């Protein structure tokens, strides 16, 4: 395998990637390995609009147009294998079995209904969804059936299969869990978001706009502080809106969004760092991130942004985890100890001064009366 040459000679962790669509809004990115990957986006801000699907076989140094459709709106991409790719969005899903040379459109429902997600666990079994209905195929997308066990009035934005039976889904209004292969579901959180990333069958992370949640017991989701540039957890330059999260393993994870475009943790979320991007070029929200290992990653977003890194485990500037940050607590504790110490010394001196006055003999005009 040929890895692309790192170009971050200016000290930045991430670099811009050149392409022919500087005004595009890129929605998703997925790489099969360090060289072969896909990016999907739209050329306008209204729905529907012209869309584009880009492919690279050299890590992003050059791109080929693999689809250019009118009046569509693509949101997600799923790589089944090097030849079979699915994309979905407003107007239904498309798929290719020849690495993007030709595409087939799938009409699951009548009309231009948005399909929010697409997830295949192999070449035959896959899922997609509308605003409140989950659909399943067992024959590679030739036919689709609704899943009766999805009973929620919610849009599944992202699905993650940990095994053939253990499945998680993120919706607008909640997080959902299935233990029978996406047939029946239980809502385990009443707060939704954009997407989630699973580390194991018991640990996962989820992000919403300004929300970060962590699960460590296979069931319970706990809100955790979002990394910020200031200790109190408020970024005065703007809220760090989050869009996508990806953990390559239990330790290495990344979050992309706006204001703080890329956050990185090397230790399973105990600490977060702001990785450097070309600030003059990356001015809008990043929408998606993908890594093939702890160093090689890509992120895409509005303003035609495609960035990549070969040093994805570079720490960057440490962010604060709000009032619970251990460094912040240590500083507060040290200051508290210093204040207590100063108060103690002042009280000792005050008591000493009173004792001297009390034990001294009375005087009148400087004369000792004793």
Cβ atoms of residues 71 and 49 within 8 Å? yes
Take residue 144 and report the two structure tokens written for it. Answer: 């689709």
Q: Do 280 and 332 fall into the same domain?
A: no
Distance CA 287, CA 124 (A): 28
Per-residue model confidence (pLDDT) at position 326: 55
Q: Do 213 and 333 fall into the same domain?
A: no
Alpha helices in the chain (DSSP H): 326-359
Instruction: Measure Cα distances from 129 to 119, 153, 342 in Å.
Output: 10, 12, 64
C-alpha 46: how far from chain center: 24
Q: Do 227 and 358 fall into the same domain?
A: no
Take residue 327 and report the two structure tokens written for it. Answer: 């460094």
Q: C-alpha angle with apex 163: 162 to 168, nearest 5 degrees?
A: 45
Distance CA 246, CA 205 (A): 8
> CB burial class (10 A; 0-12, 13-18, 19+) of residue 13?
buried
Q: Which residues contact 170 (CB under 8 A, 6 or more apart)?
A: 156, 157, 158, 159, 176, 192, 193, 194, 195, 196, 206
Asked, for residue 64, whether it belongs to a domain, the answer is: yes
What domain range includes position 158? 15-322
Q: Do 219 and 297 fall into the same domain?
A: yes
Task: Give the total residue count for the chain.
Answer: 370
Residue range 7-66, pLDDT digits in tens: 444 579 999 999 999 889 999 999 999 999 999 998 877 666 788 999 999 999 999 999
Per-residue model confidence (pLDDT) at position 367: 46
Asked, for residue 168, whether it belongs to a domain, the answer is: yes
Q: Do 276 and 212 fall into the same domain?
A: yes
Among 133, 191, 121, CA closest to 163: 121
Asked, for residue 10, whether it belongs to a domain, the answer is: no
Question: What DSSP assignment string belongs to 268-283?
Answer: TTSS-EE----TTT--
The neighbouring-strand residues paired with 239 are: none
Say how many C-beta atoms besides its own lie within 10 A of residue 47's C-beta. Answer: 14
Per-residue model confidence (pLDDT) at position 220: 94
How many domains does the chain fold into? 2
Say how many C-beta atoms besides its own lie within 10 A of residue 231's C-beta. Answer: 17
Q: Do 336 and 200 fall into the same domain?
A: no
Q: Do 276 and 207 fall into the same domain?
A: yes
Asked, for residue 2, whether it belongs to a domain, the answer is: no
Q: Do 208 and 357 fall into the same domain?
A: no
- Any idea what the CATH number is for the domain that residue 120 is in? 2.130.10.10
Average pLDDT by stretches of 10, the chain with 370 residues = 41 91 92 96 77 94 88 89 92 90 86 79 93 93 94 93 93 96 96 94 93 94 87 56 94 94 95 92 91 96 94 91 53 55 64 58 49
Take residue 8 and report the two structure tokens written for it. Answer: 């971050």
Q: Do 232 and 103 fall into the same domain?
A: yes
Asked, for residue 219, whether it belongs to a domain, the answer is: yes
Q: Which residues contact 228 (CB under 8 A, 6 or more apart)?
A: 234, 235, 240, 260, 319, 320, 322
Q: Do 196 and 304 fall into the same domain?
A: yes
Domain boundary among 287, 304, 322: 322
Q: Do 140 and 157 fall into the same domain?
A: yes
Take residue 27 and report the two structure tokens written for it. Answer: 């929605």
Q: What is the pTM of this model?
A: 0.82
Per-residue model confidence (pLDDT) at position 112: 61
Helix (H, G, I), strand (E, B) or coil at 343: helix
Cβ atoms of residues 75 and 41 within 8 Å? no
- Residue holding tokens 């000679």? 9
């Amino acid at each position: 395998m040929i890895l692309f040459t790192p170009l971050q000679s200016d000290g930045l962790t991430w670099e811009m990637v050149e392409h022919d669509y500087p005004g595009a809004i890129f929605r998703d990115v997925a790489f099969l390995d360090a060289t072969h990957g896909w990016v999907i986006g739209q050329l306008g801000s209204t729905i529907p609009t012209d869309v584009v699907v880009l492919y690279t076989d050299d890590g992003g140094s050059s791109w080929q147009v693999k689809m250019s459709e009118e009046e569509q709106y693509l949101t997600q991409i799923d790589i089944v294998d090097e030849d079979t790719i699915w994309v979905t969005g407003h107007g239904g899903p498309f798929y290719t079995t020849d690495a993007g040379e030709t595409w087939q459109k799938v009409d699951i429902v009548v009309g231009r209904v948005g399909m929010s997600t697409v997830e295949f666990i192999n070449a035959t079994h896959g899922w997609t969804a509308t605003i409140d209905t989950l659909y399943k195929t067992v024959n590679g997308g030739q036919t689709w059936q609704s899943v009766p066990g999805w009973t929620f009035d919610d849009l599944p934005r992202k699905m993650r299969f940990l095994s053939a039976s253990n499945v998680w889904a993120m919706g607008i209004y909640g997080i959902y869990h299935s233990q029978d292969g996406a047939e029946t579901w239980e809502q385990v959180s009443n707060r939704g978001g954009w997407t989630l990333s699973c580390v194991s069958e018991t640990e996962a992370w989820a992000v919403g706009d300004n929300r970060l949640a962590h699960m460590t017991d296979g069931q319970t989701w706990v809100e955790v502080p979002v990394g910020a540039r200031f200790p109190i957890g408020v970024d005065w330059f703007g809220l760090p809106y989050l869009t996508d999260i990806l953990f390559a393993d239990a330790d290495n994870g990344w979050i992309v969004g706006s204001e703080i475009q890329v956050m990185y943790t090397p230790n399973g979320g105990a600490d977060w760092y702001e990785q450097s991007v070309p600030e003059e070029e990356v001015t809008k929200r990043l929408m998606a991130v993908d890594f093939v290992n702890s160093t090689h990653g890509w992120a895409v977003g509005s303003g035609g942004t495609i960035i990549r890194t070969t040093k994805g485990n570079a720490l960057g500037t440490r962010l604060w985890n709000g009032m619970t940050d251990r460094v912040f607590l240590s500083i507060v504790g040290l200051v508290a100890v210093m204040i207590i110490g100063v108060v103690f010394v002042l009280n000792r001196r005050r008591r000493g001064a009173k004792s001297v006055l009390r034990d001294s003999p009375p005087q009148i005009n400087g004369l000792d009366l004793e």
